[in-house]
Amino acid sequence: MPRPKLLMSWSSGKDSAWALHSLRLAGEYNIVGLVTTINEEFSRVAMHGVRDALLAAQADAAGLPLWRIPLPYPCSNAEYEQRMRALIGNALAAGVTHMAFGDLFLEDVRDYRIRQLAGTGITPVFPLWGLPTARLARDMIAAGLAATLSCVDPRQLAAEHAGRAFDAALLAALPDTVDPCGERGEFHTFCHAGPMFRAPLAVVTGEVVERDGFVFADILPA
């Protein structure tokens, strides 16, 4: 029997990258693409602030087509949901039956995704759900995953962490109030190497700026 077709919700960060790796190891699904929301005004990944060109490089390194969802800026929740419905329609037409997310433990986020997909014909999948985040972060790093903090919420983590590598030194330096994987939005990452990619991406950290209450590090091709 052919494996069910699955789309991976792709933020450009470490959790979605590790979820992709985990799904491939399990071998249950035929992963057919990466779905990412793009800020239309800035041509960057929504929230993470990663350039579209680097997103495309990730997809190429993962060997998967990229399914972009352009979003206006600013974007209301109603507009977001309308564009997601269009994506779901396209996915169904392509024979997709499942969509995976890299969520770790936030019940409200998981419940929202389940509600949005209820009755659509697409089943949500959460390959990393409930894994202890301290161990998960260490496992990622030990397996060769490399990522850079592309966005920091300065209300939860000091702004100077923007642009820092996601590594053992970072984990040791994080305050006890910060989740090791940044699951509460303390930080977001750009993943540029790991077992989910055919080859690492060469990147450098550029300008660090504050925008909309967050601190962003501009990740650039080396």
Distance of CA 55 to the CA centre of its chain: 10
Domains of the chain: 5-221 (3.40.50.620)
User: What percentage of the chain exceeds 90 in pLDDT?
Assistant: 95
The amino acid at 39: N
138-174 burial string, b = 16+ CB within 10 Å, else e? eebbeeebbbbbbbbbeeebeeebbbbebbeebeeeb
pLDDT per position as a tens digit, 143-190: 999 999 999 999 999 999 999 999 999 999 999 999 999 999 999 999
Supply the pLDDT for residue 93.
Answer: 98
Of 31, 48, 97, nearest to 219 (Cα)? 48
Distance (Å, rounded) from C-alpha 181 to C-alpha 104?
9
Residue 42's pLDDT band, with cuts at 50, 70 and 90, is confident
Q: What is the mean pLDDT of the chain?
A: 97
pLDDT per position as a tens digit, 115-126: 999 999 999 999
